[in-house]
Amino acid sequence: MEKEIIQFTVSVYTENNIGLLNRISAIFQRRHINIESINSSASEIEGVTRWTILVNMTEEQMKKIIGQIEKQVEVIKAYYHTDEETIYQESCMFKIKSDLLFDERQIQNIIKESNARIVTVNKEFFVLEKSGRRNEIELLHRELSAFGIMQFVRSGRIAVTKDEMKITEMLAAFNN
Amino acid sequence: MIMETLTVKQKQYLKQPKERISGSEAIVRCLLAEGVDVLYGYPGGAIMPVYDELYKYQDKIHHVLTRHEQGATHSAQGYARISGKVGVAMATSGPGATNLITGIADAQIDSTPIVCITGQVPSHLLGSDAFQETDIVGISTPVTKWNHQITKASEIPEVMAKAFYIAKSGRPGPVLIDITKDAQFEEFDFQYKKCEGIRSYNPVPKVEDSKLEEAADLINNAKKPMIIWGQGVILGKAEEELKAVIEKAGIPSAWTIMGASAIPTSHPLNIGMVGMHGNYAPNVLTNECDVLIAIGMRFDDRVTGKLDDYATQAKVIHFEIDPAEIDKNVKTDVAVLGDSKESLAKLLPLLNANSHTEWLQKFKDLYAVEFEKVIKNDLHPIKEGLTMGEVLNEINTQSKGEAAIVSDVGQHQMIACRYAEFNVSRSNITSGGLGTMGFALPAAIGAKMAAPEREVVAVIGDGGYQMTIQELGTIFQTKVPVKIVVLNNDFLGMVRQWQQLFFDKRYASTEMTNPDFVAIAKGYYVNAKRVTKREELSSVVEEMMQSKDAYFLEVCVEKEDNVFPMVPSGASVSDIRLE
Ligand SMILES: Cc1ncc(C[n+]2csc(CCOP(=O)(O)OP(=O)(O)O)c2C)c(N)n1
């Protein structure tokens, strides 16, 4: 188990600081590990940033890297989780020629079935947005490719964990 | 609590009302508030406002002009290593800042508390490829414990306070603070408050009683326990606690290079150095002990050799302040997190008194083998050429083990660490983790300034000496009385040894045509002598040790001697070679 390469979602709570992206990504770079995706956002706590990093590695390696991340002065806490332990999503956007929306009936079906949402339509193009699992997004991408995609973009993974992460308590403990 | 530990001078600073001063003056005032009495550096455009303030404050703080910024970092390191205080280095932007990097990387891997301050181009020019602009925060990120760029004077007090706190707390390390020139000129209301904690940073994990009990249980039931301690004991000021543990439980105890001198060399349970050129007994018996107790050390590959064959028979206990070190290289059975002083003090009452006489005898027997094969010939050679070992032996005799030995990197370093005798902790100052040639001369300057009462002897190879030889200028200008011994074998000896052993003696670029080192030292008005014969050695070393001034001694040693024992890289520690 420890030696098998699996996909992990890393959640890191940090202070909001210039340069922290550099510090965290350097930890992976130094060990020649590719970051599949990285996302930085606000968290449930005011003033605390939350990073969601997707990586593939062994659990043994993952534990060591979590240690290195937590060692950074401005990192409050880092966790790693398997897919089963999180609820996760990605989001994507397609820019497609508007003609197709009217000429190709099938596109309308695809949009309906995939639960994608039309963000905007104008004379030249329309924009489609979809959030979901990677395989759903890939399926949609495959289906739309046949008609021609002007632009495609997909976000990094974001995830919440099924278990609690007691950051507020940790920060409160510091103030006492 | 904190207030009580401050000096009167420091309290004065805290009580002062807000004053309107410039950013550059604030930097100097922060240094004073942190108790800095000396710093090392080199001026240039982007840091000139701070130098102007240093000029005004020169009766309170001594700025030492090194001859290269790398020298400034190593001097700051030497200062920190011998004293436990934070060393400070300063440089201008661009090339001044990049010249600090080697020393910063060295301090990072050897956990040395230093604060480096760099000037930066004015904030409106950031990112414009301005003259002498480098992204020093970006460049130094992977080799600093923390770094930060200041663009507003008002940030200075808080950031400087954090810098010192982070550098010295928990597992120490280097911090770099980059300050734009406009922030140095800007005026603001200054008030300083020491940093007492950072919410995202937990420098000293709590010692868990249950872990201590598990550890004590393993130790009390061990038949063949062995301790390996590292610099964590010195950094935690836990020398006395370690000694008490060792003596009560009767455990043979070895040290890593970075841990050397924490326990006197002559202590009966001190069984010598582990690692690539360590002693025979502790290396071989690492693979025979039943409980291995690692204290404030990080299982570096130079210590462990081939990991798959490292102490696989033993239960491993790891006392460590940095959670990231647990299971990093060697899987532990019991990890005791926390400060070494606290955990060893709490461990002591849980231990049964013991004396592992038979087990200790094994170490003595193997020492006898090493003595016959190696040590005797190193320390008391009968061949004509001088050995590095006999020079160290002579220094030991004359210093009576009281000197701090600052070594560079290479064969002479291994010889110095193997043979130097230490009665006092913090006496082995060397570049362990990074192996930085050029470290010793500037580090010795810093060490001697931090501990003027101590004899400081730099032991350097002819190669490494020439990497920072310009610091002779600093020695001449400051009159710092360091003793410099160059063990000249006209080779990059350690690399030549590997070429001999592993590359069929193809001596690619390791032979050195050297200058007249004595003439160079004299050119800097430093007393200097060269020794080429055994008969002269003792009297010249004596002259050096008696000298009240700086002294340079070149000893021409055998050109192609090798350092043994040796664990060839990739081999198991118990496959250590004696020849
Ligand atoms: C800055 C740097 N460059 C290269 C090396 C690789 N290196 C390790 S030991 C050594 C030879 C050192 O020679 P010298 O200073 O003469 O000491 P000796 O081994 O002869 O005692 C070299 C080149 C290093 N450690 N540091």
> Which atom of ligand 1 is found nearest the CA of B460?
15
> Is B292:B286 a contact under the CB 8 Å cutoff?
yes
Q: Which fold has domain B209-362?
A: Rossmann fold (3.40.50)
The residue of chain A with its CA nearest to that of B139 is A22
- pLDDT of B185 > 70? The answer is yes
The residue of chain B with its CA nearest to that of A48 is B200
The CATH superfamily assigned to B384-557 is Thiamin diphosphate (ThDP)-binding fold, Pyr/PP domains (3.40.50.970)
Domain boundaries, chain B: 16-190, 209-362, 384-557
The values of phi and psi at residue B126, to 5°, are -55, 130
Query: What would the mean pLDDT of B84-103 be, rounded to a whole number?
Result: 98
Q: Does A41 lie at the interface with B, CB-CB under 8 angstroms? A: no
Ligand 1 site-directed mutation target among B109, B494, B514, most atoms within 8 Å of CB: B494
pLDDT of residue B11: 65
Which helix (H) or strand (E) covers residue A95, if one does? strand A86-97
Query: What would the mean pLDDT of B502-520 be, rounded to a whole number?
Result: 97
B69 as an active site residue: the answer is yes
> Which atom of ligand 1 is found nearest the CA of B467?
1
CA atoms of B299 and B322, how far apart (whole Å): 13
**What domains lie within chain A, and their CATH numbers?**
6-86+161-175 (3.30.70.260), 88-154 (3.30.70.1150)
Q: Does A154 lie at the interface with B, CB-CB under 8 angstroms? A: no
Q: Where are the alpha helices (DSSP H) in B222-294?
A: 231-235, 239-249, 280-286
Contact A23 B141 (CB under 8 A): yes
CA of B410 to the centre of ligand 1 (A): 5
Q: Where are the beta strands (DSSP E) in B157-310?
A: 174-180, 187-190, 225-229, 253-255, 270-273, 291-295
Contact B142 A26 (CB under 8 A): yes
- pLDDT of B18 > 90? The answer is no
> Which atom of ligand 1 is found nearest the CA of B388?
21
Q: Which tens digit of pLDDT belongs to each residue from A149-165?
A: 999 999 999 999 999 98
What's at B178, amino acid-wise?
Answer: D
Contact A175 B199 (CB under 8 A): yes
Q: Which tens digit of pLDDT belongs to each residue from A103-117?
A: 888 999 999 999 999
CA atoms of A166 and A41, how far apart (whole Å): 18
Indicate the pLDDT class of residue A166, thresholds 50, 70 and 90: confident
- Considering only CB atoms, B200 lies closest to which of A14, A23, A68, namely A14
Distances B218 to B253, B259, B299 between C-alpha atoms, Å: 16, 23, 20
Q: Does A1 lie at the interface with B, CB-CB under 8 angstroms? A: no
Query: What would the mean pLDDT of A43-48 be, rounded to a whole number?
Result: 94
Which is catalytic among the residues B25, B34, B53, B69? B69
- What value, to the nearest 5°, has the Cα angle with vertex B512 and ends B511 and B513? 130
Q: Which of B359, B364, B320 is nearest to B342 (CA)?
A: B320
Residues having CB closer than 6 A to ligand 1 are B 408-412, 435-437, 461-464, 487, 489, 491-495
Q: Which tens digit of pLDDT belongs to each residue from B512-530?
A: 999 999 999 999 999 999 9
The b/e string for B188-222 (b: 16+ C-beta within 10 A; e otherwise) is: bebebebbeebebbbbebebeeebbebbbebbeeb
Rounded to a whole number of angstroms, the distance from the CA of A105 to the nearest CA of chain B is 51
Indicate the pLDDT class of residue B209, thresholds 50, 70 and 90: very high
- pLDDT of B4 > 60? The answer is no
Q: Which tens digit of pLDDT belongs to each residue from B461-480?
A: 999 999 999 999 999 999 99
User: What percentage of chain B carries pLDDT values higher than 90?
Assistant: 97
Contact B323 A171 (CB under 8 A): no
Say which DSSP state A12 is in: E
Q: Which residues pair with B527 in a beta bridge?
A: B551
Rounded to a whole number of angstroms, the distance from the CA of A80 to the nearest CA of chain B is 15
The residue of chain B with its CA nearest to that of A65 is B324
pLDDT of residue B449: 98
User: What percentage of chain B carries pLDDT values higher than 70?
Assistant: 97
pLDDT of residue B27: 98
Contact A68 B324 (CB under 8 A): yes
What's at B340, amino acid-wise?
Answer: S
Query: What would the mean pLDDT of A18-35 be, rounded to a whole number?
Result: 94
B497 as an active site residue: the answer is no
Residue A110 token pair: 């695809």
B181 as an active site residue: the answer is yes
- pLDDT of A145 > 70? The answer is yes
CA of B256 to the centre of ligand 1 (A): 20
Which is catalytic among the residues B16, B56, B131, B185? B131
> Which atom of ligand 1 is found nearest the CA of B408?
15
pLDDT of residue B10: 63
Q: For chain B, state the CA radius of gyration.
A: 24
Indicate the pLDDT class of residue B1, thresholds 50, 70 and 90: very low
Q: Does A23 lie at the interface with B, CB-CB under 8 angstroms? A: yes
What's at A78, amino acid-wise?
Answer: A
Among B109, B145, B200, which would you mutate to test the A interface (most chain A Cβ atoms within 10 Å of its Cβ)? B200
- Asked, colleague to colleague, whether B16-190 and B384-557 share their fold, the answer is yes
Q: Which tens digit of pLDDT belongs to each residue from B402-440?
A: 999 999 999 999 999 999 999 999 999 999 999 999 999
> Is B414:B440 a contact under the CB 8 Å cutoff?
no
- Considering only CB atoms, B322 lies closest to which of A15, A71, A174, namely A71
Q: Which fold has domain B16-190?
A: Rossmann fold (3.40.50)
pLDDT of residue B6: 63
Query: What would the mean pLDDT of B146-165 be, rounded to a whole number?
Result: 98
The values of phi and psi at residue A140, to 5°, are -60, -40
B191 as an active site residue: the answer is no
CA of B416 to the centre of ligand 1 (A): 14
What's at B458, amino acid-wise?
Answer: A
- What value, to the nearest 5°, has the Cα angle with vertex B553 and ends B548 and B555? 155
Indicate the pLDDT class of residue B15, thresholds 50, 70 and 90: low
